[in-house]
Amino acid sequence: MDILSLSFDELSSAFAENSIQGFRAKQVYEWLHRHLAVSYDEMTNLPKALRAELAEKFPINTCKPERVQTASDSTVKFLYSLSDGEFIESVLMKYKYGYTVCVSSQVGCKMGCRFCASALGGYKRSLTAGEILSQVYAAQRHAGERISHIVLMGMGEPMDNFENVMKFISLVTDENGINLSMRNISLSTCGVLPGIERLMDKRLQLTLSISLHAPNDAIRNAIMPVNRKYPVDELLALCRRYAETTSRRISFEYSMMSGVNDSDECARELASKLRGMLCHVNLIPINEVAESPFRPSSQERIKSFSAILSASGISTTVRRKLGSDIDASCGQLRLKSIRERGNSDASRS
Ligand code: SAH
């Protein structure tokens, strides 16, 4: 049983079934979600015998830091191992308004975007709500300060792990836990329409982020296989509905790849398709991944692209690149570790 994934009510019933007194559930929940305990030994107000019983029946599956890299701009990248030996990554960023942690929702990813390192490492499995949560808690323990913002922009496709991601969101916003504001959560998807619809029905106040990266099917099909199933115009139509239904501004991510999606013509096409939508566009120079042929657009290209969007009245920013000296983009560190493990396995045999 993955105790970090349990809501307070679920934890209480699990304890009741094991004839553990009711008030213990409250204590343990507090230790886990307020004091961010990673072991029962920290729970000093529980009798020793109970701690041993709990450790046996309800192991705490937190992610274990394997590597922690700090970049010159103080962005921290974590590589964690999970209880089954898989690796995941998260990134901690410090902004003027506080700490943001970027968490993974799956080990690897099935979506296969051509420019993304997560796809290269292969898909293994979805994370439990507790495994997603423990990335936030580990980052907060490391920072020694409250995490105020969460972005689901690490490895994996959140819409491909919908239930666990929703459970994670309810735990992280629980007022008896770390009580993060729903408005400070961003969920990013490559455009899985049924997932966006399900999310829309929940009317959450979080920010929906769409990894768009291209204004039309010709370009998007070539870099994002998901577009063949869910074409870009259908995606944008649903985004329009989403924004109207939730009154929340959609955030479009657009990674600028030289000669691929960065022409003025692309900018004009994008502007015409987004006109009148409650949205914001984030332009990001792509991070180079050794195995991928894509190169970042020049500063002049990005400026020109951004000027066209802004002139059409579309709110646009060029995102500052953080942590690029520590492989801080999606899946890069896991890939490196898989390779290193592969090499050492090879040298042993
Ligand atoms: N699967 C979700 C969540 C991952 S978010 C999604 O696609 O939205 C990670 C973001 O980084 C996505 O916008 C993704 O398209 C982008 N990304 C992936 N590889 C990148 C790279 N090499 N450079 C810049 N952005 C990249």
The predicted pLDDT at position 324 comes to 57
Rounded Cα distance, 254 and 302, in Å: 11
Encode pLDDT of 85-130 as tens digits: 999 999 999 988 899 999 999 999 999 999 998 878 789 999 999 9
- Contact present, 258 and 294 (Cβ < 8 Å): yes
- Contact present, 109 and 155 (Cβ < 8 Å): yes
Residue nearest atom 17 of ligand 1, based on CA coordinates: 116
Q: Return the domain boundaries, the chain.
A: 3-57, 64-345
Out of 3.20.20.140, 3.40.50.300, 3.90.1170.50, 3.20.20.70, the CATH code matching 64-345 is 3.20.20.70
Rounded Cα distance, 26 and 178, in Å: 15
Nearest to 34, CA basis, from 235, 172, 157, 230: 172
Q: From 115, 213, 230, give the residue whose CB has the most ligand 1 atoms within 8 Å, as the site to mutate.
A: 115
Mean pLDDT over residues 163-184, rounded? 97
Rounded Cα distance, 287 and 294, in Å: 9
Annotated active-site residue 330? The verdict is: yes
pTM of the predicted model as reported, rounded to 2 decimal places: 0.93
Q: Please give the share of the chain, as a percent, with pLDDT higher than 70.
A: 91
Catalytic option among 63, 190, 279, 330: 330
Single-letter code of the amino acid located at 269: E
pLDDT higher than 80, residue 204: yes
The predicted pLDDT at position 288 comes to 87
Encode pLDDT of 6-42 as tens digits: 999 999 999 999 999 999 999 999 999 999 999 999 9
Catalytic option among 89, 131, 157, 253: 89
- Contact present, 4 and 10 (Cβ < 8 Å): no
Single-letter code of the amino acid located at 22: G
Nearest to 304, CA basis, from 343, 265, 249, 278: 265
CB-hemisphere CA count at 13 Å for 35?
A: 15
Mean pLDDT over residues 269-278, rounded? 97
Annotated active-site residue 340? The verdict is: no
The predicted pLDDT at position 345 comes to 40
pLDDT higher than 90, residue 74: no
Lowest mean pLDDT among 110-119, 157-166, 217-226, 231-240: 110-119
* Beta strand pairing call for 98-102 and 106-107: unpaired
Confidence of residue 330 (pLDDT cuts 50, 70, 90): low
* Beta strand pairing call for 125-126 and 106-107: antiparallel
Give strand pairing partners of 207.
Answer: 186
CATH number given to 3-57: 1.10.150.530
**Ligand 1 site: residues with CB under 6 angstroms?**
111, 113, 115-116, 153, 157, 188-190, 211, 253, 255, 284, 286-287, 289, 329-330
